[in-house]
Structure 1
Amino acid sequence: MMLGKPGASGAPFRILPLPDTHPPQISDGPVALLRTIGAAGLRHKGRLAIWVALCLAAAAAYVRTTPPTYTAAATVLLEPRRQVPSAAREIAAPSSLDLNAADSELQVIRSERLLSTVFDALALRDHPELGPQPPGPLQMLTSRVRAALRNVWAVSTGAAAQPGAEASLRVDPRRNAFENFARRFSARRVGQSYVLEIAYSSADPELPARVANAAASAYLLQSVAFKADAARSGAEFLQGRLDALATQVQAANAAVRSGALPAQPIPDADARIIGAAQAPLGPSAPRGSLIMAFAGVFGLLGGVFVAALVSVFDRRVRRPGDLVRETGLSCLAVIPEIAGRHRQARASVSDSAMLVTREHAGSFAAAIRDLGVAIEIAWAASRSEGSPVVAIGSWRAGAGASLLTMNLAQLLNHRGRQVSVFSADASPTRGEDGGPVGPSLTDVIASGSTVQAAFANVDGVRLLPIHSAMPQLNRFVDFRDPRAGLIITQARQRGEVLIDLPPLGESSDAVALATHADIVVLVAAEGATTYDELNDALGVLQRAGITVIGAVINRGRS
């Protein structure tokens, strides 16, 4: 098959189908991983941008719909426990603070007893924020599911609903408000120091400071009240000591009720308040800028990760380098999509053959020319003489094998070559002389006679349909019949011969026809054909002893 002299058009070869003597080096490691992730991100950049925009929109909606939360904190410094002398002349021994005392005092601050004192002193039982809240969509859904399951269980077991069941499930309003209050309260140790931070969060900007200061005062009250009780029960303490402790108890108690700090020092509390809770100047949550930044980073990284993960498991043909690595086939050419996939699929035989001659089909025509040159180089490398019979096929229909066959034939025809095409996807309406079309290849084989095949004329290309218009003949014909080889040989004597194979994955007719060809070219549609399908097609042809020189990526968009 003389497809034209290499380089006759003056343009250098862009694709060389000769097999490499050294296999390509497959790079691994972090650099290859980053390259794969970057390529996946660029391939799905449109979807990635939409995903990031959706994440930012969701974050903005969350920030706008979430009510602001204000937080205030009071800090307490623990001090060594004061030892009171039992007599006037007795000197108290110096004391030290245990390293584990801070953790113990944290549990005291978090105890239900202290929180109840603050809760009752500030009269928070009827605070609207701590009352029952309307259930959210998820809670409503789960409650309905539970109710439906209870009804189903009652019906299945025959048990009647107890009238007091709902009443027994009701929660005490004070208990419910106290639990909501405790969830908003927090106490922690600042680093490894003896400083304790007492904080409270609320949607009311004035309430957090009152609660934090009241909790700090309650902690002092609890400590000094214990000493006052011990002083009253011990005869060894003087009345002055009792009066001093009683004054400190009164000051701490008043501070708890007012939600403020004591008006006078409380030295016997073994703790000292070093920072009063102040009314917050702004909400502590939600942090809009932080949430938006997190949403943007999460959307970008999550989208890139998903794109890379999809690319790892995506077995569809996309790049020539991956084609060589996954199948071992050389990429003969990458044919761009000229008029859209659906438009090409609906085009007639004549229209499909004329795509290569359109004025705006420069890249498409160049790719078809590259395909012809690649076939010529591969045939020359086999040291064979004469013109080869080239079969072009795909595993499934719709990959564009017929389109490429007809345009390659039209390109050769414009170079002055006589081209005969055996097409599996052609229904010509006129014969070679303009009269009615003759029998197809199937009709000639099924006739059992030496009827001469009548080729149709499609813009200068001799075209013979492979299948018959009668479906019953197509079911029983055997394309390995010598008459099929005779017709192909006669066409070969007149010039170039191209065979448009039926889909390899649908019937064995394609393999039978391919046995009459010298070389076979497989067609893969970018983003549609998988490497597994190419490997299946390659395996079927190689088991039949057919030479496959490479593959073509059709409808390339990258």
Structure 2
Amino acid sequence: MMLGKPGASGAPFRILPLPDPHTSQANDGPVALLRTIGTAGLRHKGKLAVWVALCLGAAFAYVRTTPPTYTASATVLLEPRRQGPSAARETAAPSSLDLNAADSELQVIRSERLLSTVFDALALGDQSELGPRPPGLLQTLTGRAAAALRGIWTALTGAAAQPANQGAEALLRVDPRRNAFENFARRFSARRVGQSYVLEIAYSSADPELPARVANAAASAYLLQSVAFKADAARSGAEFLQGRLDALAAQVRAANAAVRGGALPAQPIPDADARIIGAAQAPLGPSAPHGSLIMAFAGVFGLLTGVFVAALVSVFDRRVRSPQDLARETGLSCLVVVPEAGGQRGKARISASDSAKLVTREHADSFAAAIRDLGTAIEIAWAASRSEGRPVVAIGSWRRGAGAALLTMNLAQLLNHRGRQVSVFSADASPARGEDGGPAGPSLTDVIASSSAVQAAYANVDGVRLIPIRSATPQLNRFVDFRDPRAALVISEARQRGEVLIDLPPLGEPSDAVALATHADIVVLVGAEGKTTYDELNDALAVLQRAGVTVIGAAINRGRS
């Protein structure tokens, strides 16, 4: 913006925006998706870390508060037997067993009759873990809510509402054995091992000794049912000898003793339709909860859900965040990212006069470098247009607070410290003194509204010539037309004296900002990080383009304005 010599006419020039090579890149597909997810995770890394820590803490609390569970299992091989044609004996006939029959045997093992036999034989009704449990937190809250609703219903209708499951709950309270048996059945399981004829009988309990007893007793009870049925058939059949009856009776007694003792039969049971191939042993350690597995799951769950939510929030978050997103969402080049000035973070909002001199403050090196980069980007854009003279640069935003005035005044201070004379037309300025220290002169609106040849009077603000755009008279601000030739004349005169910067009013308000922008050769939009949305920048760009104004790019302001 400081290149070339002043032209004879000083008329404004129109330039073409510089093409941004990044905006023409093809979509990377899955790589772009992964990059977006990674960016979202890094952007919300603090919240993501807190969420993962909460998930791990909840998992740790669950592992520490959940009582350990021990599981033991016994295995049974199905071997159906039939009576041989030539002898009063039963021989193995595995060929008569199919997969459907094996599934039927599973239902026999899970039947209430067999489970009741084991339950009564081991006297499990006295086990404390099978007794009624106190309601949990969720059940307590649900019960209180239901009681409150019933109270409201009673108050409104005068009739007490009876819960639907009151009878069932009363039955469980009256019959504690049934309650204990239901809890016992939930801990018992039986399944086939693959597609084989091997059945696995398992039981889980907080008592490390009980699972093996129950599993062995259930296997013995299954053998007992098979042998007892054949013994009854033998007693009613005349073809069986007394010796055969005695053998079956001995097997029944052995199976009965095994069920009562929670062990396997003390003698072989050759006439049963199955044989036990694996006894249940007391577990060496708890089978649940799996602490390491739960913690790993909680960590992965927290990370995945956190990243997913962060990515989802980023998709619907239309606020300005990064230069890459700015170029993709608006097509505008990011000229500069203005950081927060050193010493400003964590402090109260500074005054307008102090914010106009942030570039000169100590410990503001990064802020000053960003303002310098902004000036360099404007110079390069002006030089690329092959135009002569000094450009009129307008800096604006869609709404107040984005930092347009901050960037305008600090850019003016930077140019002033380089020894150049700068004139600033400010939408927010209210100077208290003129160049000679006297009262402030007329504003740009006053000059336009005056029928006489009123000269613009600039205030001296730390070496920068400043003139307010608005008038102190509200009536004049209401009817002013910034497309008036007198406005162009004032700006042209300021251009002849040095650099000209225009701090535009908010573009989202009435068309004063657009009218002023038509006097500029270069317009820079400003977006406040985390406040300005891409839609607002697109609206501002569309408004300026309809007016024929050239926008060379946008600046992202990370500081408070």
TM-score for the superposition, normalised by structure 2: 0.90
Alpha carbons 1:430, 1:437 under 8 Å: kept: yes
Q: How many pairs are equivalent? A: 546
Aligned to 2:483: 480
Q: Equivalents in 2 of 1:519, 1:391: separation in Å? A: 6
Inter-CA distance 149–386: structure 2 relative to 1 (3 Å threshold): same
Letter in 2 for 1:457: N
**Bigger shift: residues 143-152 or 388-397:** 143-152
- Deviation of 1:390 (Å): 0.9
Equivalent of residue 504 in structure 1, options 507, 510, 523: 507
Aligned to 1:102: 102
Equivalent of residue 322 in structure 2, options 302, 309, 319: 319
Q: Equivalents in 1 of 2:296, 2:22: separation in Å? A: 48
**Bigger shift: residues 171-180 or 514-523:** 171-180
Q: Equivalents in 2 of 1:160, 1:434: separation in Å? A: 86
Alpha carbons 1:17, 1:331 under 8 Å: kept: no
Equivalent of residue 265 in structure 1, options 261, 264, 268: 268
Query: Any idea what SS the aligned residue of 2:190 has?
Result: strand
Q: Equivalents in 1 of 2:422, 2:193: separation in Å? A: 88
Aligned to 2:401: 398
Q: Equivalents in 2 of 1:38, 1:166: separation in Å? A: 53
- 1:36 equivalent in alignment to 2:36: yes
Query: Any idea what SS the aligned residue of 2:170 has?
Result: coil
- 1:74 equivalent in alignment to 2:80: no
Alpha carbons 1:87, 1:236 under 8 Å: kept: no
Aligned to 1:454: 457
Aligned to 2:140: 140
Inter-CA distance 438–179: structure 2 relative to 1 (3 Å threshold): same
Aligned to 2:429: 426
- 1:549 equivalent in alignment to 2:548: no
Query: Any idea what SS the aligned residue of 2:460 has?
Result: strand
- Deviation of 1:312 (Å): 2.8
- Deviation of 1:121 (Å): 1.5
Q: Equivalents in 2 of 1:24, 1:59: separation in Å? A: 47
Q: Equivalents in 1 of 2:116, 2:450: separation in Å? A: 102
| 1:294-313 aligned within 5 A | 294-313=297-316
Aligned to 1:242: 245
- 1:83 equivalent in alignment to 2:86: no
Structure 2, unmatched stretches of 5+, are 6-15
Letter in 2 for 1:28: D
Alpha carbons 1:189, 1:195 under 8 Å: kept: yes
Q: Equivalents in 2 of 1:461, 1:135: separation in Å? A: 76
Equivalent of residue 281 in structure 1, options 277, 281, 284: 284
Q: Equivalents in 1 of 2:548, 2:57: separation in Å? A: 59
Query: Any idea what SS the aligned residue of 1:322 has?
Result: helix
Q: Equivalents in 1 of 2:213, 2:90: separation in Å? A: 40
Q: Equivalents in 2 of 1:466, 1:90: separation in Å? A: 116
Aligned to 2:11: none
Query: Any idea what SS the aligned residue of 2:126 has?
Result: coil
**Bigger shift: residues 157-166 or 174-183:** 157-166
Q: Equivalents in 1 of 2:164, 2:397: separation in Å? A: 73
- Deviation of 1:556 (Å): 7.8
Aligned to 1:56: 56
Letter in 2 for 1:51: W
Q: Equivalents in 1 of 2:283, 2:24: separation in Å? A: 65
**Bigger shift: residues 363-372 or 176-185:** 363-372
Alpha carbons 2:358, 2:410 under 8 Å: kept: yes
Equivalent of residue 371 in structure 1, options 371, 374, 387: 374
Inter-CA distance 247–470: structure 2 relative to 1 (3 Å threshold): farther
| 1:7-18 aligned within 5 A | 18=18
TM-score for the superposition, normalised by structure 1: 0.90
Inter-CA distance 109–127: structure 2 relative to 1 (3 Å threshold): same
Aligned to 2:10: none
Aligned to 2:65: 65
CA deviations 1:213-259 (Å, max 9, x no partner) are: 11111111111111111112222222211111111111111111121
Equivalent of residue 495 in structure 2, options 487, 492, 517: 492
- Deviation of 1:167 (Å): 5.7
Aligned to 1:177: 180
Q: Equivalents in 2 of 1:395, 1:63: separation in Å? A: 53
State the identity as a percent: 83
Alpha carbons 1:84, 1:92 under 8 Å: kept: yes
- Deviation of 1:495 (Å): 1.2
Alpha carbons 1:18, 1:377 under 8 Å: kept: no
Q: Equivalents in 1 of 2:162, 2:21: separation in Å? A: 84
- Deviation of 1:205 (Å): 1.5
**Bigger shift: residues 289-298 or 166-175:** 166-175
Equivalent of residue 436 in structure 1, options 421, 435, 439: 439
Structure 1, unmatched stretches of 5+, are 6-15
Alpha carbons 2:221, 2:259 under 8 Å: kept: yes
Aligned to 1:386: 389
CA deviations 1:385-441 (Å, max 9, x no partner) are: 221211100112211111110111111111221101011222322221122222333
- Deviation of 1:87 (Å): 7.0
Q: Equivalents in 2 of 1:473, 1:126: separation in Å? A: 94
Q: Equivalents in 1 of 2:193, 2:411: separation in Å? A: 78
Inter-CA distance 340–222: structure 2 relative to 1 (3 Å threshold): farther
- 1:330 equivalent in alignment to 2:333: yes
CA deviations 1:365-388 (Å, max 9, x no partner) are: 222122112112212222332212
CA deviations 1:138-176 (Å, max 9, x no partner) are: 112222333344444455555355799956641332222
Equivalent of residue 525 in structure 1, options 522, 528, 531: 528
| 1:460-471 aligned within 5 A | 460-471=463-474
